Amino acid sequence: MDDAPVGCGDRARRRALISTRMRNGALALSRIDDVDRRKRIRRTALVCALIALAFYFAFILMSLVRGLK
């Protein structure tokens, strides 16, 4: 079952092929695309963190308001 469609195959060989392709430039992203992608990821992480922080403070505020009644 070495060549099974569901199996993971030979990972070392697969990595070597991928790195060879990247050196040839077939799969490599240009430097500008990579920088743009990192900016989008950073922005998305910041937005998710701000949303989580808003929920955190909203629950604290809600518990304080209910405790005062």
What pLDDT score was predicted for residue 32? 80
Overall residue count recorded for the chain in this entry: 69
Nearest CA to 28 out of 42, 37, 13, 41 is that of 37
Q: Is residue 55 in some structural domain?
A: yes
Q: Is residue 2 in some structural domain?
A: no
What pLDDT score was predicted for residue 59? 97
What pLDDT score was predicted for residue 31? 81
Q: Is residue 59 in some structural domain?
A: yes
Q: What percent of the chain has pLDDT over 90?
A: 43
* Mean of pLDDT values over 8-26: 58
What is the extent of the structural domain holding 30?
11-68
Q: Which residues contact 22 (CB under 8 A, 6 or more apart)?
A: 28
Q: Is residue 4 in some structural domain?
A: no
What pLDDT score was predicted for residue 34? 87
Q: Is residue 1 in some structural domain?
A: no
Q: Which residues contact 1 (CB under 8 A, 6 or more apart)?
A: 7
Whether 69 has a pLDDT exceeding 60, the answer reads: yes
